[in-house]
Amino acid sequence: MGRATARPPLETSSELNAPLFRLLADQLGDGSRRVVLDLGAASTSMLSMLGRSPCRVEIADLMRADEVARLNAAEPEDMAFLAESLLPRHDPSYPVDIVLCWDLPNYLQPIALSALMKAIVTRSRPGAIAHALVVYSERSMPEQPARFVPVDGYRLANRSTSSSEIAAPRFTSEALNQHMGGFTIDRVRLLANGMQEYLFCLAE
């Protein structure tokens, strides 16, 4: 992905209505115990939201530029092992119910995305749901993954301040279905910022 021109820092106060994230949040409020795998960094507001229900939360913290670069640069034969090593220790007693991918799929090469999601599938319960935000209408995107956090009404705010841009891969829905490791598209919505919001489901 080549580097494009710089732009002013993102507005950190802007909030994004994300109806499919809201749907997930509402499901978490039904009192059922679930295991949530968050591929981003821990945030107080996210942990507070998840703490309202009996969730077990696992934080992967893969949104850092160095982790993205490691996955993208790995040799194909090493990717499966690397992807597994980057995730929290797997406990078969706690299969994953919900995966929060945020906008990470935009930053991984297709082969790296496939390796990561296959590793996640091996630790997920049949019927598990993955949520992702994918650049759709814009040709460029911030150089590094965003830091989305939930705010009032389960809207999402981007707390990153990235100013440089790179070319966006603009995955089609068909390509995403091929590279999500077994998760397939369940619902998709076009958001006001030009991203597509996805819910993927793992076959039961």
Nearest 5°: CA angle at 114, between 160 and 181?
110
Taking only the tens place, the pLDDT of each residue in 91-135 is: 999 999 999 999 999 999 999 999 999 999 999 999 999 999 999
> Is the separation of the CB atoms in 55 and 34 below 8 Å?
yes
Is residue 112 within 8 Å of residue 39, measured between CB atoms?
no
Neighbours of 189 (CB within 10 A): 15
Please, is 141 exposed, middle or buried when counting C-beta atoms within 10 Å of its C-beta (0-12, 13-18, 19+)? buried
- List CB contacts of 68: < 8 A, sequence separation 6 or more: 62, 104, 107, 108, 144, 145
Instruction: Give pLDDT tens digits for 144-203.
Output: 999 999 987 679 999 887 779 999 999 999 999 999 999 999 999 999 999 999 999 999
pTM (2 decimals)? Answer: 0.90
Cα–Cα distance for residue pair 126/105, rounded to 1 Å: 21
